Structure formats: C-alpha cells, structure tokens
Structure 1
Amino acid sequence: MNDFTYQNKTKIVFGKNSENQLPQLIKKYGSKILLVYGGESIKEIGLYDKVTAMLNENQIEYFELSGIVPNPRLRKVYEGIDICRQQNIEFILAVGGGSVIDTAKAVALGFSYEGDVWDFFENRNEPEACLPVGVVLTIPAAGSESSENLVITKEDGLLKRGYGSEKLRPQFAIMNPETTYSLPFYQTACGISDMLAHIMERYFTKTEHVDVSDRLCEGLMRAIISNAKLVKQDPENYDARAEIMWAGTLAHSGLIGMGREEDWGSHAIEHELSAIYDIAHGAGLSIIFPAWMKHVYRENEERFVQFAQRVMNVELPNSMVYETIMEGISRLECFYTSLGLPTRLSAVGIDSSHLEEMAKKANSCGNFKKLDASDIYKIYKLALD
C-alpha cells in the first residue's frame, strides 16, 4: 500500500426532505448566490419551485444559470463567470447531476482568476481561490457532489478535459433519493455505468497489499449491480435508489483509491468519444471499459481473475485463467446490456471514421498499462463491432 493523505470536507445531508436544510447551509457562505441547473426536469418534479421558495423566504438573492447539457460546455462556464462578477455572487448552488455540478465548479474556479479558466484544464496554472459551491443532487452518477474533479468540453476543437483540486470539493451535498424517482431508466443506467467505471479505474491497479480498498471496491460494485436490478423492476424503490445514490458518492469521493495507483485510461479514451459524438458519458464507458479490459488484462491476470471471481461470481477451475477472465468481462457486458446500455460503438451508430483522430488526442494515458496512440486505436477497434 502506498502512503496517502485523505481529507474530504463535503458535508453529506442524506435522506427524505433533506433539501429542507438548504437555507441554513447556504447562509454560512452568503446571501447572494448563483443557481445553476439544467432544463425542465427539476421544474417538472417540483424541486425548482421548492428551492426558489426557500431562497425567497430566507432573503437569499439568486441569479440563474440554466440550460446546462450533458458533456457540459465551456461557453456556459464563461456565462456563469460573467454573472458572478457582475452581481458579486458569494456562493454557487448546483441543482442537478454531474454536468450541472461540474459547470458550477468551473465557474467557481474561474471567478477570481484573471486569465482564461481553460488554462486550468491545460495545466497552465493552479487556483489560488474558488467560490464555495453547494449541491442538491438529482442524478446519481458522476460523484462530483463530493469529489475534487470536474470535466468540461471546449467547443472549439471538441476538447473534453478534466481538472482536479481540493478547492473544488463542494461545501455540502444534499441527497434525497426521492428526487431520482422520475429519472428515465436509461439515464439511471448511464449513471450506474459511470459509478462502476469510477470504481474500476481504481480497482485495476498494480499496487500490492491493498486488500481493504479492494474489498471496499468489490462491495460497492456488487451492491450497485444488485440494486440496479431492483430499480429497473421498481423505479420508486426508495431503498434501492438510496443504495445507488450513496454508492455513486462513495465511488468518486476519493476514499476507495487511497493507497493505490489509479488508472483513468478508460475515462481519457471515452472523453474523446463523447467530445466528438456527444453520446452519454455512461454509455461511452459501457462501450470502452470492456474493450480496455480485453486489451490490458495480461498486465496483471491475477487481478482480472479476482474481479471475475469476487465481483462477477465466476466459478471455474483455477487452471482456467484465460477463460475465467473472459467470462468475467462477458458477464460485465451482459450486465450493461440488461440495463439497455451499448457495449459496441456500432450499437450507437459510430463507425471507424474518427478512430485514429481520437486515439491521437487521447495518446499517453493510463497507469495499469501505459497506453500510446497505437494501444488506444486497438481498444477503439475492439469496441467497434
């Protein structure tokens, strides 16, 4: 196990009617806020009216940045920064899922920075200060509600890039599983794929003697898989929704990666895919991750056997190493398929036109196996049909 330091400042407020605590949480940071959200979904479930009514009743002035879309765009970040500067905003409240939260974080990042906020995504600078951010989570997926990370797409050049800093962890995250009841199942499934990928990016490591975090990862993956089936059967199963919501937070809070080298090759490969084709991130990951596994498993066959046996319940003789690994990957693909997720690029209408371009843009990523453009191209090819 590697040495590590872990601290997560995000206060989690979890459960039914947890959003009622919002005013008292915000008032610690100011009374003039930017409210960031996506489209009509939070209005359709009554959450927008409930939140704005509480803000008005508690004399919290708010300005809005709406219309945030999946694979959030840099232009919206610029728009939010302008509003914050013009209105002397003191706090940013994100009501939504990962795209909304990441946009709020990027606005917070750029608020007091004199240069272009994109500088951070190009690793040209480090933030000295950020506006505080709070979250009302409505889509369990990205784990951005308590993580230090965010991902933004720059329209010019179709560049999808991530950035991380401890300064970007939200001050609080309100999490009421009831707000997820109305999510279309495909959106729920994409979120499940995303959180599984966050776990697997940490699970597939060459770091030795990490049994505690191995078991945490395995337990989370098994819990997600079993509760996904329950939610598919009954979208208003509170207990199953709660399990998935909490698992999504734990998957990307940083805790399960402590003491071990993480990979993140699959995410880098998928980012190029969704940057060009604008497919759902979770759908891209359900395509890319199995292909990545098939390409890299020889780097550490023992770990892939462990995954197959402990997570996917593969029971084959110990001598059948290759068969065990392939069966584990096959069962993962079958799980994705059972949720209505794609496992091949052809299933979402993507051909080989941009494979070389994407491979070059994602060049040099991953730690489990260092991937160059040639490796990445082979992974895209494995994912094609």
Structure 2
Amino acid sequence: MLGNFTYCNPTKLYFGEQALDRLSGELENYGPQVLLVYGGGSIKRNGLYVEITAILKQSGKKITELPGVMPNPTVDKLYEGMELARKKKIDFILAVGGGSVIDYAKALSVSVHCESDPWERYYLKMRRINNPVIPVGVVLTMVGTGSEMNGGAVITNTQTKLKIGRVFGESVFPKFAIMNPKMTYTLPQYQMVAGFYDIMSHILEQYFSGTDDNTSDYVMEGLLKSLIHSSLAAIEKPQDYEARSNIMWIATWALNTFVAKGKSTDWMVHMLGQAVGAYTDATHGMTLAAVSMPYYRCIMKDGLPKFKRYAVQVWNVDTQGKSDEQIAAEGLTAMEAYMKKLGLVLHLGELGVTEAMLSGIVKGTFILNGGYRKLTPEEVENILRESM
C-alpha cells in the first residue's frame, strides 16, 4: 500500500426490493422545499414518478420539478437549474435516475449558492468550494457510474466542446441512495450494456496503475470476475434479479473511492472517452469501450507485469510455453471477445466521430500522468485513429 490516506464515505445506502420504503424516513432530515430532478420521463412511464411524488407529499414536502436532464448534462442545463433552485429557495435535491441525473444534481448542489460562474470556478479552475452546498439524495434507476456514492460530477460545455469531470469532497456526496435492482429492468439493452462497461472501465482505471502488492488489486479482480459473470447472465435474461443486483452493487464499489486508496490511478480511458463525448454526445460507456483496446495495447508493455496478472487472474489465460507479453496480449484478446459478446461499440466511427473532429478531440483530451506512461498528443491521436 502506498502513502498515507484517509477514507470516509458519508453516503448511506438502502439496497433491495423494499429500499424505497426508507425514503420517507430520510426526508425528515431536510427542509420542505424539494427539487425533484429527473431525465427524459421514463420514471413517469414505469410508475416510479407516482410513487415518489406520493411519498414526498405524504412527508409534507413542496415539490418543484426539474425534468429533462440529458445523458451528458450541459452547463446550460446547470444554469437553468440554478435559476429555478434560487427562485424556489430549495432545501434539498432528490435525483431520480442514473449517473447523468445524479452528476447533474451534485453539480447543481454546489452551484446554486456560488457567487461566481460555477463552470469557471469549479470546472475550469478546479477551485475549492466556498459556498453552502444543498444536500442531495438519490433514487437509482440505472447502474454504471457509481455516482450514487461519490462526489463526482461531469458537465459538458457544448460551446467550447469540453466535457469535464470534477470530483468534489465529502460535502457533495449524496446523503443517501435508494437502490432497488428491479428499477433497472426497463432500461434498453444498449444503455444497459454501456453501463456494464462503464463499471468495468472504472475498475480498470484503478487496477492498471501502480506496482506494489496492493490489497485493492485483489478486491478489483474479484469485482471484475463477478461483473463478467453477471453481465453475461443479464444479457441472456435482463430480469435476472441475482445478476442485476450483483451488478448494481459492483458499480457502487467500483467508484466509491474505496479501491483507489493506497495506490495511483490512471483515468486516461475516461479522458479520451469524455473528449469524444463532448463532440458526439455519444453514450458515455460506449465512448469508453471504443477507445479502451487501442489504449491498453499502447501501454501494455509499460505495465506488463500487471497486464500479465490481469490475463491470468481475470481471464484464466494459460501461461504454459508463453512469454509474459504473449500472456498479456491474450488477456486483452479475451477482454475484446467479451466486449463483442456484450454488443459494445468498438469503433469511434459508429459513434459519429469523423476525420474532421480528430484534431479537436485531441486538443480536448486532458493528458494525465497516473498510469504506466504519460501519453503525448501524437499518441492520443494514434489511439483515436486506431479506434476509428
């Protein structure tokens, strides 16, 4: 384990088929003015909206609705929410949806009382929070991001073509998350499998980094094996409760800061995927899938011992008579075959990326140094071209 660290996660989780029954008890802790944030209206079609609004009313809450949060929430939508929340003097934000809705709610929570432009202060300049934060609660309807138990909030500026993730501290973590796996059953398969890969990518961003014998790496290998097994079961039978419940739990633990402790982390796949998303508005998990294989093949030799370990421990690659490089490469081939079986997008062209966009995507890619090698802009361009 590397360095010194502090671990604290203030989010309370309610998990299972009766999880929503716990919402009314949590609402007692917050003021009367509630902002109900949700996306495109699926919660109205599946009946969840009626259940939640009934609970809010029975709890004596005054409901202000903010629908229409898009899959890649924009800074313009953030400004809209700020104006509404200020006007209604909102005490509490209830986010009902997946990662985009939850990310948006957290970004809004720190922005409402910000006296300057929150995009500039919190995203471009990455300044500390210097204003009150509105508490957020979550009812989770889509898994993948882990946003229900962390301080991350990704926002897109469509004018400047920048998609930036900000990881805020404990004050921005949701106060609670309601997690009923059955609420994810109605999700279209494309979105479901994109979420599966988002989970895998979160784990790999933290796994493919560092060289010490870290406890977290053993935990992540277990999470990966469970995810692979459960995701394959879920695409065969989407309403397999055991599979969907395991996936929901894995997603939360993949990105609630636990497995990152005591080690370096990479996050270049996310930087590449977010830059693509800023230009295409493509589904986040699919942008990650499209750039992952070229990126990992680019850095494999730099992190060869870990890539070999990944091949053996996660994909059960037979090592006999093979070099370390052959073993590692075979592990990535097994991973690619799994991705194809899920139906993931493996080429950027399928997401609408064109040759004319590449230079802008390269410029919009934040290059980090937590992985096995810090990329050059030329390498970023090569990875993108290999993914086309």
Contact 1:363 1:373 in 2 (8 A): no
Asked if structure 2 preserves the Cα contact closer than 8 Å seen for 1:70 and 1:99, the reply is yes
Shift of 1:322: 2.0
Contact 2:106 2:151 in 1 (8 A): no
Look up the SS of the partner of 1:131 in the other structure. Answer: coil
Check if 1:353 corresponds to 2:359.
no
Q: 2:61 matched to which residue of 1?
A: 60
Higher deviation after alignment, 71-80 or 88-97: 71-80
Contact 2:207 2:220 in 1 (8 A): yes
**Within-5 A mapping of 1:244-323:** 244-317=247-320, 319-323=322-326
**Partner SS, residue 145 of structure 1:** helix
Aligned to 1:32: 33
Letter in 2 for 1:91: F
SS in 2 for 1:312: coil
2:290–2:347: 8 Å Cα contact kept in structure 1? yes
Structure 2 unpaired stretches of 5+: none
Label 1:367 to 1:124 Cα distance change in 2 as closer, same or farther (>3 A).
closer
Q: What's the CA shift for 1:291? A: 1.2
Q: Secondary structure at the match of 1:195?
A: helix
Instruction: For 1:5 and 1:331, locate their aligned partners in 2 and report how far apart those are by CA, in whole Å.
Output: 36
RMSD value over aligned CA atoms? Answer: 1.3
- Deviation of the 1:186 alpha carbon: 1.2
C-alpha distance in structure 2 between counterparts of 1:328 and 1:321, whole Å: 11
How far did residue 209 of structure 1 move? 2.2
Structure-2 separation of matches of 1:187 and 1:366: 30
Distance 1:356 1:380 in 2: 10
Alignment equivalent of 2:202, drawn from 198, 201, 218: 198
1:365 Cα deviation after fit: 2.1
Give the alignment of 1:120-199 within 5 angstroms: 120-128=122-130, 129-166=132-169, 167-199=171-203
Distance in 1 (alpha carbons) for counterparts of 2:29 and 2:366: 44
- Check whether the contact 1:190–1:281 (CA below 8 A) recurs between aligned residues: yes
Change (3 A) 1:349 1:105: closer
Residue 300 of structure 1 aligns with an amino acid whose one-letter code is: G
Find 2:341's aligned residue among 333, 338, 343: 338
How far off its partner does 1:159 sit?
A: 1.0
In structure 1, C-alpha distance between the alignment counterparts of 2:360 and 2:60, rounded to whole Å: 52
2:219 corresponds to 1:216: yes
Residue 363 of structure 1, CA deviation: 4.5
DSSP 3-state at the match of 2:356:
coil
Which digits, 9 at most, give the CA deviation of each residue in 1:237-283, with x for residues without a partner? 11111000010000000101110001111101111101101111100
Point out the more displaced range, 81-90 or 7-16: 81-90
User: Cα distance, 1:294 vs. partner?
Assistant: 0.6
Aligned partner of residue 255 in structure 1, secondary structure: coil
Structure 2: how far apart are the matches of 1:382 and 1:242?
Answer: 35
Q: Deviations over 1:261-315 (max 9, x none)?
A: 0111110111110110111110011111111101111112000001111111211
Q: Within 2, Cα distance between the matches of 1:348 and 1:296? A: 24
Q: CA deviation at 1:30?
A: 1.5
State the one-letter code of the partner of 2:30.
Y
Q: Please report how far the alpha carbon of residue 349 of structure 1 lies from its aligned counterpart in structure 2 after TM superposition.
A: 4.5
Q: Distance in 1 between matches of 2:5 and 2:211?
A: 13
Q: After superposition, give the CA deviation of every residue in 1:117-168 in whole Å (9 maximum; x if it has no partner).
A: 1020012521133110000000001000001111000121121001111121
| TM-score calculated relative to the size of structure 1 | 0.97
2:376 matched residue in structure 1: 372
Describe the superposition over 1:76-102 as per-residue Cα deviations: whole angstroms up to 9, x where unpaired.
111111111111110100000000001
TM-score by length of structure 2 reads 0.96
Q: Distance in 1 between matches of 2:370 and 2:158?
A: 28
Aligned equivalents of 1:349 and 1:117: distance in 2? 30
Once superposed, which parts of structure 1, at least 4 consecutive aligned residues long, lie more than 4 Å away? none
SS of equivalent residue, structure 1 residue 95: strand
Question: How far, CA to CA, are the matches of 1:355 and 1:318 in structure 2?
Answer: 41
**Percentage identity across aligned positions?**
36
What is the one-letter code of the residue matched to 2:17?
A: K
Question: Structure 1 pair 150/318, CA: closer, same or farther in 2 (3 Å)?
Answer: farther
Number of residues of Structure 1 aligned to a counterpart in Structure 2:
383
